[in-house]
Amino acid sequence: MEKEIKPVNPVKDKIYQNLLQEIAGLYTMPMGAFNIRADGQGVERQTTANIDIETKKDQPGIDIRVKAGTKNESIHIPVVIGRTGLKDLVYNDFYIGADADVTIVAGCAIHNPGLEDSEHDGIHRFFVGENAKVKYIEKHYGEGEGAGKRVLNPTTVIELARGSTMEMDSVQIQGVDSTIRETRAVVGEGATLIISEKIMTDGDQYAKTIFEVDLDGEDSRTHLISRAVVQGDSEQIFVSKMEGNNRSRGHSECDAILMSRGKAVAIPEVTANHPEAELIHEAVIGKIAGEQLTKLMTLGLSEEEAEAQIISGFMK
C-alpha cells in the first residue's frame, strides 16, 4: 500500500519531504511497518500482522515488537525536525523475536531555519532474540540556512542473544554540527555484531563515536569499521572499546582521511579477559595517499576529480 506523505506543516511540507528522502529514501509511504516522527511528535504510523508499534506511556518514544519467525519485513522509523530551537529526546525499544529476519531503517534529519540550536537525541535499544537477524540502517543529515546548530546524539544499546546477528550501517555525510554517537553492545554465544560507520565532517563540525562491545558469549564475534573524512577545521574522535570475556573474536578498524586542517583521534581500548579472546585494533589516519591520486590522474582525471572520486568511494 502506498500513499502520499501526510503534510506535517502545509507551509514547510516540501522541506519535510526532502528530509525524509535524504535519510530514508522515502518518496512515498514505505511498505511494511513505519513510524514517522516530525518536530517531536509522531505523525504517521503503520503496523503489520507481525510488527507492532506502540507509544510508550512513561516517556517519549515507541516500543517496536517483531514476532518470532517474522521474515523479510522492514520497519522505517525516520525522525525529521524542521524548526529552530527544538530539542527532541526519544526512547525507542526494539524487541526482535527469535528467528526473525528484519531490516530497520532509522535516521534523523534536521532542517534548522533559525538562530537557535535544534537537537535530536535518540536512544535506541535492541533486544535481539535467539538466531534472529537484524539489518539496521541509520542515516543522519542536517541542512538549513539558519546559524542555529544542528545537533544529533544517538545512543544505541544492543543485546544479542545466542546465535543472533546484527549489522548496523551508520552514515552521516553532511550538515550535522555536533554529534556524539554512543553504541554499547553485549554479544551472546555464537552471536555476531557488525558495525560500519561513515562520517564526513567539515567547517567546525565535531563528531565523536564511542563503541563499547562486550564479547560475553562463547564464539561471539564483532567487527567494527569506521571510515571518516575530516575536512575544514572539523574534528572527529573515535573511541573503540572491546572486551573479550569468552572465547571470542573482535576486530576494530578506524580509517580517517584528513583534508585541510581537520583533526582525527583514534582511541582503542582492547581488553582480553579470556585466554581465547582474539582482539585486533587497527587505525590509519592521514591524508589521501599520493599514489591513489597519481593512479587516477594517469587514467585522465584531474587532481580535483581524483580526490572527489577517492572520497566518494571511501564514503560509499
Partner 1 sequence: MLELVDVTVAVPVGDGIKEILRDVNLRIDDQFVAVTGPNGSGKSTLAKVIMGIVRPTSGRILFNGKDITDLGIHERAGLGISYAFQQPVKFKGLKVFELISLAAGRDLTKDDACEYLSQVGLCALDYVDRDLDASLSGGELKRIEIAMMLARGTFFTILDEPEAGIDLWSFQNLIGVFRHLHEVTDGSILIISHQERILDMVDQIIVLNEGRVEQAGPKDEILPGLLLPADTCRAACDYYAVS
Q: Which amino acid is at 295?
A: K
Task: Provide the binding-site residues for partner 1, judged by CB under 8 A.
Answer: 227, 255, 289, 291-292, 294-303, 306, 309-310, 313-316
- CB nearer to partner 1: pick between 160 and 228: 228
Q: What is the DSSP letter of 5?
A: P
Q: How far apart are CA 258 and CA 232, in angstroms?
A: 9
In the complex, minimum distance from the CB of residue 254 to partner 1, in angstroms, rounded to a whole number:
12
Run of H or E including 254: strand 248-258
CA distance from start to end of the chain: 30
In the complex, minimum distance from the CB of residue 315 to partner 1, in angstroms, rounded to a whole number:
7
Beta carbons of 73 and 32 less than 8 angstroms apart: yes
In the complex, minimum distance from the CB of residue 302 to partner 1, in angstroms, rounded to a whole number:
5
Q: How far apart are CA 8 and CA 15, in angstroms?
A: 10
- CB nearer to partner 1: pick between 157 and 173: 173
- CB nearer to partner 1: pick between 87 and 287: 287
In the complex, minimum distance from the CB of residue 257 to partner 1, in angstroms, rounded to a whole number:
9
In the complex, minimum distance from the CB of residue 255 to partner 1, in angstroms, rounded to a whole number:
6
Residue 210 CA, chain-centre distance (Å), reads 12
- CB nearer to partner 1: pick between 147 and 308: 308
- CB nearer to partner 1: pick between 121 and 169: 169
Beta carbons of 279 and 272 less than 8 angstroms apart: yes
Cell of 102: 528484519
